Chains A and B, each alone.
Chain A
Amino acid sequence: MAIHIKNLIKKYKNTIVLDHLDLTIKEGSIFGLLGPNGAGKTTLVSILNFLVSKDFGEVQILGYDSDKNEKEIKARSSLVPQSYAFYPTLSAFENLEFFGALYGLTGKVLHTKIDHCLALTSLEKYREARAETFSGGLKRRLNIAIGLLNSPQILYLDEPTVGIDPQSRSYILSVIKNINQIEGTTIVYTSHYMEEIEYLCDDIAILDQGKIVFHETKETINAHSNIAKIHLSDTSTQEVNLQSNYDALVDTFCDIKQKSLHVKEIELPKNNLENIFMSITKKELRD
Chain B
Amino acid sequence: MFYYILKKEFLLIIRNLHALIVLFVMPTVFIIIMTLALQNTYANKYDVKLSVLLSSETPSLALESFVQTLNSNTFFTFTFTQTTPVVEEALYHQKYDFVLTLSNDFTEKLGKSRDVSMALFSRSDISYQQVAFLKQFLSAKLSEMVIGNLLKMQGIKTQNALNFEEIISNTYVLKDKNTTTVTSVQHSVPSWLIFSMFFILIPISNTFINEKNFGTIDKIRSINVSLSTMMMGKFIPYFVMNQLQVFGMILVGMYLIPLLGGDSLVINGSIFLLMLVSFVVSIAAISFALTIATLSNSSEMATILGGTSNIILAAIGGIMVPKVVMPKFMQDVSEISPMSWALDCFLDIIVKGGSFGDIQFNVMKLLLFALLFFTLACLMLNYRRN
Residues of A within 8 A of B (CB): 46, 49-51, 53, 71, 74-75, 77-79, 81-90, 94, 97-104, 106, 146, 150
A90 to B1, CA, bound (A): 17
Judging by beta carbons under 8 Å apart, are B222 and A79 in contact? Answer: yes
User: What 19 additional pairs, Cβ within 8 angstroms, besides A98-B4, A98-B7, A104-B224?
Assistant: A49-B222, A75-B224, A77-B222, A81-B215, A83-B214, A83-B215, A85-B214, A86-B219, A87-B216, A88-B210, A89-B12, A90-B8, A90-B11, A94-B7, A94-B8, A98-B5, A101-B3, A102-B5, A102-B220
Judging by beta carbons under 8 Å apart, are B222 and A74 in contact? Answer: yes
Judging by beta carbons under 8 Å apart, are B215 and A50 in contact? Answer: no
Judging by beta carbons under 8 Å apart, are A89 and B215 in contact? Answer: no
Contact of A74 (CB < 8 Å), options: B3, B16, B214, B224: B224
Judging by beta carbons under 8 Å apart, are A101 and B218 in contact? Answer: no
Q: Which residues of A contact B1 (CB under 8 A)?
A: 101-102, 104, 106
How many residue pairs bridge A and B at CB < 8 Å?
81
Q: Which residues of B contact A71 (CB under 8 A)?
A: 224
Judging by beta carbons under 8 Å apart, are B5 and A87 in contact? Answer: no
Judging by beta carbons under 8 Å apart, are A84 and B221 in contact? Answer: no
Tell me whether B86 is interfacial, beta carbon within 8 Å. no
A261 to B386, CA, bound (A): 69
A51 to B217, CA, bound (A): 10
Tell me whether B156 is interfacial, beta carbon within 8 Å. no
Q: Say whether, besides A83-B215, A86-B216, A74 and B223 are in contact (CB < 8 Å).
A: yes
A77 to B221, CA, bound (A): 12
CB distance from A216 to the nearest CB of B (A): 29
Which of A53, A71, A98: most chain B CB closer than 10 A?
A98
Q: Which residues of B contact A78 (CB under 8 A)?
A: 222
Q: Is the interface of A mostly helix, strand, loop or mixed?
A: loop
Q: Mark B337-355, 1 if CB is under 8 A from A, else 0.
A: 0000000000000000000
7 tightest CB-CB pairs across the interface, nearest first?
A83-B215, A101-B4, A85-B219, A81-B215, A98-B8, A49-B222, A89-B15
Tell me whether B167 is interfacial, beta carbon within 8 Å. no
Q: Which residues of A contact B4 (CB under 8 A)?
A: 97-98, 100-102
Contact of A85 (CB < 8 Å), options: B5, B15, B216, B225: B216
Q: Say whether, besides A89-B11, A89-B12, A89-B16, A102 and B223 are in contact (CB < 8 Å).
A: yes
Which of B3, B215, B220: most chain A CB closer than 10 A?
B215
Judging by beta carbons under 8 Å apart, are A84 and B214 in contact? Answer: yes
Q: Mark B7-23, 1 if CB is under 8 A from A, else 0.
A: 11001100110000000
Judging by beta carbons under 8 Å apart, are B218 and A79 in contact? Answer: yes
Judging by beta carbons under 8 Å apart, are A84 and B5 in contact? Answer: no
Q: Which residues of B contact A98 (CB under 8 A)?
A: 4-5, 7-8
7 A-B contact pairs sorted by A residue (CB < 8 Å): A50-B222, A51-B221, A82-B215, A89-B15, A89-B16, A99-B223, A104-B1
A123 to B1, CA, bound (A): 24
A97 to B3, CA, bound (A): 11
Contact of B12 (CB < 8 Å), options: A81, A87, A99: A87
Q: Which residues of B contact A90 (CB under 8 A)?
A: 8, 11-12, 15
A222 to B5, CA, bound (A): 48
Q: Say whether, besides A83-B214, A101-B5, A94 and B222 are in contact (CB < 8 Å).
A: no
A77 to B219, CA, bound (A): 11
A78 to B213, CA, bound (A): 19
Q: Which residues of B contact A104 (CB under 8 A)?
A: 1, 224
Q: Which residues of B contact A79 (CB under 8 A)?
A: 218-219, 222
Contact of A53 (CB < 8 Å), options: B210, B219, B223, B386: B386
Q: Which residues of A contact B220 (CB under 8 A)?
A: 102
A201 to B257, CA, bound (A): 69
Judging by beta carbons under 8 Å apart, are B219 and A99 in contact? Answer: yes
Q: Which residues of A contact B225 (CB under 8 A)?
A: 102
Q: Which residues of A contact B216 (CB under 8 A)?
A: 85-87
Instruction: Give the residue name and chain of the B residue nearest to A79 (CB).
Output: B222
Judging by beta carbons under 8 Å apart, are B16 and A84 in contact? Answer: no
Instruction: Give the residue name and chain of the B residue nearest to A53 (CB).
Output: B386
A106 to B4, CA, bound (A): 9
A53 to B384, CA, bound (A): 11
Which residues of chain B in 187-228 are interfacial with respect to chain A, using CB atoms and an 8 Å cutoff?
A: 210, 213-216, 218-225
Q: Which residues of A contact B16 (CB under 8 A)?
A: 89
Which of B214, B215, B219, B221: most chain A CB closer than 10 A?
B219
Instruction: Give the residue name and chain of the A residue nearest to B225 (CB).
Output: A102
Q: Which residues of B contact A103 (CB under 8 A)?
A: 223-224
Q: Which residues of B contact A100 (CB under 8 A)?
A: 4
Judging by beta carbons under 8 Å apart, are A85 and B8 in contact? Answer: no
Judging by beta carbons under 8 Å apart, are A146 and B219 in contact? Answer: yes
